[in-house]
């Protein structure tokens, strides 16, 4: 059995694609992708021959069969891998199962709103949410920065007449007067806008914090603010991409050894290399069947965004108006 499996691996193509490691009953243990299927599968084969038992290779001992799908595209391999992991939920795959770990900032429904952390399941109940963040630590850091910049309230219950946070100049104390409350609501609106699009005043605030900390030789604080500056720019760039990916068309030209073109409409892959995508890619599974779910859209947008960021200058992309994209996709 092992000899047959190794021989099968040696016959695999040296092209981009997705592979499936299966057990004796045909159950899928692991879904992976590579720009060179044979080279990647031979690494698994080497682990099988050596009987490695570390965490990364423990799954190999149960592998009795292997299948693959050539894609002749690095991006399509990434998209197909993401889809198949969600479809089959293999035991050994972890990376694409973390949708529920996404964290967002959202405005509370209180008369004097404050920013709170929510997870992906709560997002449908909060129309004004910002993110996603990969974990609660990054989200908490951004929340504290926004509160510092705009002096927003953090208390779980609204008090009257101010509090210690106000005395320390960390809160504008909207609970003091009706006029203060009205000013506070306008400030909250500005803070929300800063999380929707790049705010030059917010950037200037962070840059000033870096400068002040450096002047006082508080270099760890300066480094923290510098990290937050990069995270803020990344947050706006990523969330803008995600929002446009959901609502409009996206054209991507993949260059290099395997040139391809892709056209997405509202998150769905509708064309590849100028031809309509019928969706039947592996074992009769429709590649687009679940793409309307929030989970799939967020992860698919994340896959494409990260891939584009990893190839600066090597691929071209452009967002297209929804109506123009529909006309091109469904003549």
Q: Over the stretch 4-22, which tens digit does the pLDDT of each residue have?
A: 888 888 999 999 999 999 9
Say if residue 51 is in the same domain as residue 119: no
pLDDT for residue 308: 94
Q: What percent of the chain has pLDDT above 90? A: 44
**Over 70: is that where the pLDDT of 161 sits?**
no
Q: Which of 136, 163, 195 finishes a domain? A: 195
pLDDT band at 324 (very low <50, low <70, confident <90, very high): confident
Residues 266 and 187 occupy one common structural domain: no
324 shares its domain with 256: yes
Shared domain check, 122 and 85: no
Cβ–Cβ contacts within 10 Å for residue 265, how many?
Answer: 19
**Are 317 and 251 spatial neighbours (Cβ–Cβ below 8 Å)?**
yes
Q: Categorize the per-residue pLDDT at 329 as very low, low, confident or very high, splitting at 50, 70 and 90.
A: low
User: Tens of pLDDT along 30-72?
Assistant: 999 999 999 999 988 887 776 654 455 556 667 888 999 999 9
Work out the number of other CB atoms within 10 angstroms of the CB of residue 310. 10
Same domain, 20 and 91: yes
pLDDT at 192 over 50: yes
Residue 70 sits in the same domain as residue 155? no
Q: What is the mean pLDDT of residues 186-209?
A: 96
Alpha-carbon gap, residue 240 to 325, rounded angstroms = 19
Instruction: Tell me what the pLDDT averaged over the chain comes to.
Output: 84
pLDDT recorded at residue 159: 65
DSSP letters of 248-315? SEEEEEE-SSS-EEEEEETTEEEEETTEE---EEETTEETTTTTTSHHHHHHHHHHHHHHHHHSTTTE
Query: By the 8 A CB rule, do 329 and 263 touch?
Result: yes
Region 261-280: mean pLDDT is 80
Q: Which domain holds residue 154?
A: 98-195
Same domain, 269 and 212: no
Same domain, 215 and 284: no
Q: Summarize pLDDT for 115-125 with one digit per residue, the tens.
A: 999 987 787 77
Q: Are residues 210 and 289 in the same domain?
A: no
Angle, helices 219-247 vs 136-150, to 10°: value is 100
Helix axes 178-196, 136-150, angle to 10 degrees: 130
Secondary structure letter of residue 132 according to DSSP: E
pLDDT in tens, 66-99: 999 999 999 999 999 988 888 888 888 876 666 5
Looking at the structure of the chain, the number of domains it has is 4
Same domain for 142 and 56: no
Same domain, 35 and 124: no
């Amino acid at each position: 059995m092992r000899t047959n499996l190794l021989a099968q691996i040696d016959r695999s193509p040296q092209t981009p694609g997705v592979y499936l490691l299966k057990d004796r009953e045909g159950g899928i243990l692991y879904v992976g992708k590579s720009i060179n299927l044979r080279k990647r599968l031979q690494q698994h084969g080497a682990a099988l021959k050596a009987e490695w038992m570390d965490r990364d290779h423990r799954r190999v001992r149960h592998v009795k069969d292997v299948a693959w799908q050539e894609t002749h595209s690095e991006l399509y391999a990434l998209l197909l891998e993401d889809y198949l992991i969600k479809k089959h939920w293999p035991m050994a795959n972890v990376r694409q199962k973390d949708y529920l770990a996404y964290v967002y900032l959202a405005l509370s429904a209180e008369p004097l709103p404050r920013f709170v952390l929510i997870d992906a399941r709560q997002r449908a109940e909060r129309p004004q949410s910002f993110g996603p963040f990969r974990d609660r630590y990054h989200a908490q850091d951004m929340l504290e920065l926004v509160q510092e910049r705009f002096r927003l309230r953090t208390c779980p219950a609204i008090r009257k007449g101010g509090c210690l946070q106000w005395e320390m100049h960390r809160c504008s104390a909207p609970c003091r007067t009706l006029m203060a409350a009205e000013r506070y609501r306008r400030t909250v609106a500005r803070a929300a806008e800063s999380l929707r699009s790049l705010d030059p005043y917010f950037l200037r605030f962070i840059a000033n914090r870096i400068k002040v900390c450096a002047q006082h030789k508080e270099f760890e604080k300066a480094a923290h603010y510098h990290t937050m500056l990069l995270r803020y720019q990344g947050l706006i760039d990523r969330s803008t991409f995600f929002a446009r990916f959901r609502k409009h068309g996206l054209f991507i030209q993949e260059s290099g050894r395997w040139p391809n073109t892709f056209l997405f409409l509202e998150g769905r892959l509708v064309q590849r290399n100028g031809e309509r995508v019928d969706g039947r890619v592996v074992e009769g599974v429709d590649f687009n069947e679940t793409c309307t779910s929030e989970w799939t859209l967020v992860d698919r947008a994340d896959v494409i965004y990260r891939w584009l960021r990893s190839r600066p200058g090597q691929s071209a992309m452009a967002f297209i108006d929804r109506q123009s994209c529909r006309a091109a996709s469904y003549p």
